Amino acid sequence: MPRAHGEAVLSATLRNRAEDFIVEELPGFEPSGEGEHLLLTLEKRGMNTAFVARRLAEWAGIDERGIGYAGLKDRHAVTRQRFSVHLPRRQAPPLGALEHGSENEALRVLDHAWHARKLPRGGLAGNRFVLVLRDVVGAPAAIEARLATLAGRGVPNYFGEQRFGRGGDNLHAALSMFAGRRVGREQRTMLLSSARSALFNRVLAARVAAGCWDRPLDGEAWMLDGSRSVFGPEPFTEVLAGRLAAFDIHPSGPLWGRGALRSTGEAARMELEAMAPAPGDALRDGLERAGLKQERRALRLRPEELSWRWLEPDCLELAFSLPAGTYATTVLAELGDVVDVATRR
CATH number assigned to the domain covering 10-18+126-152+302-344: 3.30.2350.20
**What is the spatial distance between Cα 255 and Cα 252, in angstroms, rounded to a whole number?**
10
Q: What percent of the chain has pLDDT over 70?
A: 99
N residues, the chain: 345
pLDDT at residue 269 is higher than 80 = yes
Q: Which CATH architecture has domain 29-122?
A: 2-Layer Sandwich (3.30)
Could you tell me which CATH number the domain at 155-301 has? 3.30.2340.10
pLDDT digits (tens, 9 = 90+) for 270-309: 999 999 999 999 999 999 999 999 999 999 999 999 999 9
Domain boundaries, the chain: 10-18+126-152+302-344, 29-122, 155-301
Mean pLDDT computed over 320-324: 96
Asked whether 59 and 13 are in contact (CB, 8 A), the reply is no
Instruction: State how far the Cα of 301 lies from the Cα of 214, in Å rounded to an integer.
Output: 9
Q: What is the mean pLDDT of residues 94-105?
A: 89
Q: What are the Cα distances from residue 318, in Å, to 4, 20, 47, 121, 130?
A: 20, 10, 23, 27, 6
Q: What is the DSSP string of 212-243?
A: -SSS--TTPPEEETTS--EE------HHHHHH
* pLDDT (average), residues 244-267: 97
29 pLDDT higher than 80 = yes
- When pLDDT is cut at 50, 70 and 90, the band that residue 343 belongs to is confident
Provide the pLDDT for residue 161.
87
Residue 25's φ and ψ, nearest 5 degrees, are -65, 140
Given pLDDT bands bounded at 50, 70 and 90, which one contains residue 186? confident
Do the first three CATH levels of 10-18+126-152+302-344 and 29-122 match, i.e. the same topology? yes
Q: CA–CA separation, 268 vs 291, rounded Å?
A: 21
Catalytic residue from among 20, 63, 74, 218: 74
Residue-wise DSSP of 267-313 = HHHHHHHHH-TTTHHHHHHHHHHTT-B-EEEESEE--EEEEEEEEET
pLDDT value of position 15: 94
Other Cβ atoms less than 10 A from the Cβ of 96: the count is: 7
DSSP 40-77: EEEEEES--HHHHHHHHHHHHTS-GGGEEESS---SSS
pLDDT band at 98 (very low <50, low <70, confident <90, very high): very high
> Pick the residue with more confidence: 10 or 92?
10
Q: Residue 149 pLDDT > 70, yes or no?
A: yes
Provide the pLDDT for residue 342: 84
- In this structure, what DSSP letter does residue 258 have? B
Q: Answer whether residue 345 shows pLDDT above 70.
A: no
CA torsion, ordered 108, 114, 118, 121, to nearest 10 deg: -50
Q: pTM for this structure?
A: 0.92
Does 91 score more than 90 pLDDT? no
Helix, strand, or coil (residue 111): strand
Region 223-236 average pLDDT: 94
Q: What is the mean pLDDT of the chain?
A: 95
Residue 315 has pLDDT above 70, yes or no: yes
Q: 101 or 283: which carries more pLDDT confidence? A: 283
Q: Which residues of 244-275 are buried (b: 16+ CB within 10 A; e: fewer)?
A: beebebbbbbbbbbeeeebbbeebbebbeebb
Query: Is the bond preceding 279 in cis, omega lying within 30 degrees of 0?
Result: yes
Q: Please, are residues 8 and 336 in contact by the beta-carbon 8 Å criterion?
A: yes
Instruction: Check residue 246 and give its pLDDT.
Output: 97
Known catalytic membership, residue 314? no
Per-residue pLDDT band at 165 (split at 50, 70, 90): confident
